[in-house]
Amino acid sequence: MTAERSDNVATLRENNPEVVEALSRRYGAGFITDIETDSLPAGLNEDIIRALSALKEEPEWMTEWRLEAYRHWLTMPMPDWAKLKLSPIDFQAISYYAAPKNRPKSLDEVDPKLLETYDKLGVPLHERARLAGVAVDAVFDSVSVGTTFRKELAEAGVIFCSMSEAIKEHPELVREYLGTVVPTGDNYFAALNSAVFSDGSFVFIPKGVRCPMELSTYFRINAGHTGQFERTLIIAEDEAYVSYLEGCTAPMRDENQLHAAVVELVALEKASIKYSTVQNWYPGDENGVGGIYNFVTKRGDCRGDDSKISWTQVETGSAITWKYPSCVLRGDRSVGEFYSVALTHHHQQADTGTKMIHVGKGTRSKIVSKGISAGKSSNAYRGLVKIEKGAEGARNYTQCDSLLIGKTCGAHTFPYMEVKNPTAIVEHEATTSKISDDQLFYCRSRGLDEENAVSMIVDGFCKQVFRELPMEFAVEAKKLLEVSLEGAVG
Amino acid sequence: MASPFVEALAAHATETLARLPGAGLAWLDAARREQLEAFVRDGLPGARNEAWKYTALRALERRAFLAGDADAASRAVDIEALRLPGVDGPRLVFVHGVFRADLSSLDALPEGLSLRPLSQALVEDAEPLRFFLSRGGEASADAFARLNAAFATDGMVLCVAPGAQIDAPVHLLQVGVPADDDLAWHARHIVELGEGASLTLVEHHAGVGAHRHLGTQVSDVVLHARSKLAWIGLQECADEALLIRRDRLRLDADAQLRLHALELGGGLARRELDAELRGEGARLDTRGAFVPRGRQHLDTRLDIRHVAKNTASDALWRGVADQRGRGVFHGAITVAEGADGTDAALSNKNLLLSPHAEIDTQPVLEIYADEVMAAHGATVGQLDERSLFYLRSRGIPVDAARALLTQAFCRAALDDLDHEALREYLGQRLVARLPGSGTDA
């Protein structure tokens, strides 16, 4: 950009109170809720895991399962292959359990301060929930504080509850499926999660049921010096359908907090699971201080023929994102989809993408990834498309586009394609470009200021992914991008 | 415990080093010893090494090769059979990495062209080579680069004077022939084009008769400002030979390099091309085809770094894997901070013809500048059914139609080769490797 143009932008800012206000807008969800919490002391060892398991009144097999995962974790090295720069994580300095002191029996008893928190975040937990028509499970630090619409869902035969409850009330289902998609020793962070996961959501859609409403979990890290380790398990039996949304925020703190979640999806014959995420963990400030380290393992298993799993993610938060929602397409003619928008600004780093493992015949997958980098950030797409020998007639299409805003950011693409079947077709395309001066000039000549022009162009760039999001989420995602990009131009 | 591979090559290292050309030069001895130590210490790249993810070396680790060939100077080679059409200029021939003056043709070199074997250059004036030969400790150095730096017996030193336009193509021929043992040979080439110079270089690897030798080759290619190199590569090693090559290219301002490469031979053949476009306006075009069949494993690895402003690169590579062949392709484009105005494109399309064949392809973009146009694409699939249908509707039998389309698919890599006679010849060599040509088993 020319000096003259930067001057213009500067003047524009000075003279326009709205712009000044917009620029000073920051991470909106960065407040801390002053609430009494119960927490385990910092540190990680077998005693802590036993204490955690006891606190949650878990059965013996669950405690053993955790310990086994922990022992495996001890033997694993921290992965270093991602394009990320991070300071070493001190796993002994983290408290692995924090929960609000007054545990509510039902939603009506939930601490008003907590309700206020979710209100501020715009998550409908109470009366508004009815209007919104979305069932919500709210996870505050380590525990679920409430799940809405339970009765209505139960009538349809749907189980939607926190993981802790599921372990107590539906142990047979949990035992049958937990760890079958992401085994305890799958990777470093999955092993850690298996050992110390505190809560999460459990969804079971029985055979032939179309879940009557969208299900949603809202994750909030509040307490300092803690990590969040949630575990989500979604099972859709034959011909079942569910759409699940996930949102996350955290307060602004100078420390880096760890979030290591595991999500497992199981789709049986003709079942379909749609999983949408809007991830807005605290990204750190403009100097790269603080922010969440987000190390997540998400995997869906299309076990049945004609099943479908679709991942949609909008990633705007976290100091570090390490996340590869994947599909194992085991059933014949099963379908995997991955739609992603990842935006990084300031010093954020994202290394995200997907894996599509084609095992069954006639399996299809589609990957659309949009990366936007601004400031001094680094944004990488890393993906694997693997066609196994037996995946007769498999088909994949991948499109990866990167948009650069500014001279000091990086955008990277690391796709892997491994094809072992001659009837398969795999295609990958990627482009990298910046917002062109022509596009900007056109918008500005129509009277749009630079910020708005950029936000409009970015919105257009992401449209293909936003289209896949449920409506409320699409609106939120668009707003998030706008806020996250503020100050990126000029 | 050192593997049999390392042990065999490191045995008698002191005597081997003492026999190498240039032995006794303190800086060269030190560099060779340092590389040898690093090779013995680290051995071959392991399974967890990302750069070797798709090319496993476990089988190689258990094999032992005899270091060097004492009889290379007397082995019979029919040079007439290895001539290339339209290439009758200067010729440099190496058998198992050893220079053969009797087979070479270095008389009446055109003005401005200096062409000598490395062994001779080291005796005459070693100092200009010091920069190239004492280097090698770069971060990406692996066992093969180190082996080469420690043990290279000979190679080509080619310099074109500033402004000289050399018309006749230079033929660099490296031959492998059967021997009693599995041999390991190492060649080290240096090519330097002065400002505004131009040259056509044909790099030719030929295998005569069945053998299982291991060859390593490291080349430094330096193009000074405004120079132009047309580089044609024909790799036809014996089907069980191993050939590991690394080309390091440096392009100064407005220099242009066009590479056309056919990777046809070798049981395990890997080519790494490291290119740095470090002068404004430099341009690198690479085109190539790899055609693994039988049990061949052909690995091509491009690493193209745009460092200066307004540089351009275009890569077009085709792969066809048949029978139990495996094709591996890695094409990385890096645009460094400040390299504004970069225009980079890379395409790798592959055909998979057999249920036992495999293609692994990985195009990579790493971008640190914003005034950039960069794109890559990769596909793995089959012939277009519609094209096939069209040809059949014109009365062409299905097998012939398939063969035609496969040939057209690969020949795209040769389309813009200016040297007509070579284009035709390379096209024939390529087609002969493809199914339906009548020559495959």
* Prediction ipTM score: 0.88
Residue of A nearest to B349 (CA): A427
Q: Is the pLDDT of residue B66 over 80?
A: yes
Q: If you write DSSP's letter for every residue of A168-187 in order, what string do you get?
A: HH-HHHHHHHTTSSS-TTSS
- Contact residues for B163 (Cβ-Cβ < 8 A; gap 6+): B112, B194, B195, B196, B197
pLDDT of the residue at A81: 85
Pairing relation of β-strands B91-95 and B98-99?
Answer: antiparallel
> Are B208 and B248 found together in one domain?
yes
Using a CB-CB distance cutoff of 8 angstroms, which residues of chain A are in contact with residue B355? 389, 421-422
| Rounded Cα distance, A117 and A29, in Å | 9
Which one has a higher pLDDT value, A135 or A186? Answer: A186
How many domains does chain B contain in total? 2
Q: Is residue A10 part of a domain?
A: yes
* Highest mean pLDDT out of A25-34, A469-478, B87-96: B87-96
pLDDT of the residue at B413: 95
At A39, is the pLDDT very low, low, confident or very high (cuts 50, 70, 90)?
A: confident
Residue type, B378: A
> Are B137 and B282 found together in one domain?
yes
Q: Is the pLDDT of residue A149 over 70?
A: yes
> Are B148 and B24 found together in one domain?
yes
Domain containing A18 equals 3-485
> Are B260 and B403 found together in one domain?
no
Using a CB-CB distance cutoff of 8 angstroms, which residues of chain A are in contact with residue B50? 81
8 Å CB contact between B93 and B104 = yes
Residue B49 at interface with chain A, using a CB cutoff of 8 Å: no
Of A166-180, A275-289, A358-372, least confident by mean pLDDT is A275-289
Of B364, B375, B378, the CB nearest to A431: B375
Residue of A nearest to B49 (CA): A81
- Contact residues for A242 (Cβ-Cβ < 8 A; gap 6+): A158, A203, A205, A211, A215, A234, A236, A272, A273, A274
Using a CB-CB distance cutoff of 8 angstroms, which residues of chain A are in contact with residue B359? 417-419
Interface test with A, best of B303, B309, B360, B370 (most A CBs within 10 A): B370
Asked if A425's CB is within 8 angstroms of B366's CB, the reply is no
Quick one: tokens of B117?
């074997």
Q: Is residue A490 part of a domain?
A: no
Domain containing B393 equals 385-441
Quick: pLDDT tens for A316-371. Answer: 888 999 999 999 999 999 999 999 999 998 899 999 999 999 999 999 999 999 99
> Are B433 and B365 found together in one domain?
no
pLDDT of the residue at A120: 63
| Rounded Cα distance, A312 and A295, in Å | 17
DSSP SS3 for A36: coil
Quick one: tokens of B281?
């306006």
Please report where in the chains the tokens 């569910």 appear, as a residue: A242
Whole-number percent of chain B with pLDDT over 70: 98
B/e letters for A475-488, b = 16+ CB within 10 Å, e = fewer, are ebbbebbbbbbbbb
Q: Which helix (H) or strand (E) holds A463?
A: helix A450-466
| Rounded Cα distance, B166 and B149, in Å | 30
Asked if B366's CB is within 8 angstroms of A410's CB, the reply is yes
CA A59 and chain centroid, separation? 29
8 Å CB contact between A429 and B377 = yes
Whole-number percent of chain A with pLDDT over 70: 83
> Are B115 and B175 found together in one domain?
yes
Of A21-25, B127-131, B373-377, least confident by mean pLDDT is A21-25
| Rounded Cα distance, B204 and B232, in Å | 8
Q: Is residue A202 part of a domain?
A: yes
State the virtual CA torsion across A468, A325, A479, A143 in degrees, nearest 10: 120
Interface test with A, best of B342, B366, B386 (most A CBs within 10 A): B366
Residue B363 at interface with chain A, using a CB cutoff of 8 Å: yes
Q: Can you name the residues that pair with B303 across neighbouring β-strands?
A: B274, B332
8 Å CB contact between A136 and A122 = no
B274 CA: distance to closest CA in chain A (Å): 18
> Are B221 and B336 found together in one domain?
yes
Residue B56 at interface with chain A, using a CB cutoff of 8 Å: no
Q: If you write DSSP's letter for every residue of B56-91 in order, what string do you get?
A: --HHHHT---EES-TTGGG----GGGG-BTTB-S-E
pLDDT of the residue at A125: 57
8 Å CB contact between B365 and B336 = no
| Rounded Cα distance, A380 and A106, in Å | 43
> Are B161 and B17 found together in one domain?
yes
Residue A414 at interface with chain B, using a CB cutoff of 8 Å: yes
Of A404, A425, A426, the CB nearest to B367: A404
Q: What is the mean pLDDT of chain A?
A: 84
Domain boundary among B384, B403, B422: B384
Residue B370 at interface with chain A, using a CB cutoff of 8 Å: yes
Residue A116 at interface with chain B, using a CB cutoff of 8 Å: no
pLDDT of the residue at A224: 73
Quick one: tokens of B267?
């049981």
Quick one: tokens of A11?
């003047």
How many domains does chain A contain in total? 1
> Are B240 and B363 found together in one domain?
yes
Q: Is the pLDDT of residue A14 over 60?
A: no
The DSSP letter of residue B402 is H
